[in-house]
Amino acid sequence: MLPDIGPRVAALNDRYRHHAAVSVMEKALKDPDTGEVALVSSFGAESVVLLHMVSVIAPGTPVLFIDTLMLFEETLQYQRDVAAKLGLTDVRVITATEAALKLDDPDGTLHQFNTDACCTLRKTVPLEQALSGFDAWITGRKRYQGATRQTIDFFEVETDRRMKINPLAHWGREDLEEYMVQNRLPRHPLVAKGYPSIGCAPCTSPVKPGEDPRAGRWRNSAKTECGIHFIGGKAVRGQTAPADAPAQDTANTEKVA
């Protein structure tokens, strides 16, 4: 059993504070203090950077891809193309179950009047179940992405049993661009059409020059996060079941690679 998470996260941040992103990724996948690790990827505008790092260091790392069933077709095709090109061998497609969708969003219109509930149903709850067997997960969050992310560290406490790992926390857009160019990585086709941050099709719009890169997510609303991340140090994901509660059939997981 792993030691208490708070001291482990503090030790990891101290241990790797001055390491570069690739080194943090490599260490995170091998350090016993992180435990069992998965990469959660949206296969969005910048996702290919972390996916490439994982493919070079440990291509068998579990990659969890949440298909909300409302994604752009371009994202679905990009996911298949990138996984094949990089040789990722354990990509798991996560979706809400048909029963959960029929109960809470039978006509597929929930996003029109309650985006938080839609994100919880299609993204937060299925991911929570998929992550239940892991001690840590890797995210692509970066400090430059907005006010809610300006103070993130490489390692963060998420719950009393699980941590988040943010190897790109200190990277800027220029670092991402340089990495993608140097490694000749394929770009998400929607980036060229003005989508620097890509989520579900109904809730994502193009971004104008000079706007925040995430301005096209839930435009004209106060919502800035889907619910799978912390804001201001507080969890905004849906309430999770107690550790001793029986598992609920709320997510489908399909291994595709």
What confidence tens digit (pLDDT) does each residue in 134-148 have?
Answer: 999 999 888 765 555
Domain encompassing residue 113: 5-255
**How many Cβ atoms are within 10 Å of 17's Cβ, its own excluded?**
11
Q: Is residue 200 annotated as part of the catalytic site, yes or no?
A: no
Res 242 pLDDT > 60: no
**In terms of C-beta density within 10 A (0-12 exposed, 13-18 middle, 19 or more buried), how is residue 104 classed?**
middle
Asked whether the beta carbons of 47 and 140 are under 8 A apart, the reply is yes
Give how many domains the chain has, as a whole number: 1
What's the CATH number where 142 sits? 3.40.50.620
Res 226 pLDDT > 70: no
Catalytically annotated residue among 118, 200, 203, 226:
226
Q: What are phi and psi of 208, to 5 degrees?
A: -80, 155
Q: Across the chain, what does the average pLDDT equal? A: 86
What confidence tens digit (pLDDT) does each residue in 85-120 have?
Answer: 999 999 999 999 999 999 999 999 999 999 889 999
Q: Give exposure, 72-87, as e/b (b: 16+ Cβ within 10 Å).
A: bebbeebbeebbeebe
Res 237 pLDDT > 60: no
Asked whether the beta carbons of 91 and 256 are under 8 A apart, the reply is yes
Identify which of 167, 169, 139, 165 has the alpha carbon closest to the alpha carbon of residue 152: 169
* 3-state DSSP assignment of residue 1: coil
Mean pLDDT across 41-49: 94
In 3-state terms the chain splits into helix, strand, coil percentages (rounded to 5) of 40, 15, 45
Whole-number Å distance between alpha carbons of 200 and 44: 10
What is this structure's pTM? Answer: 0.85
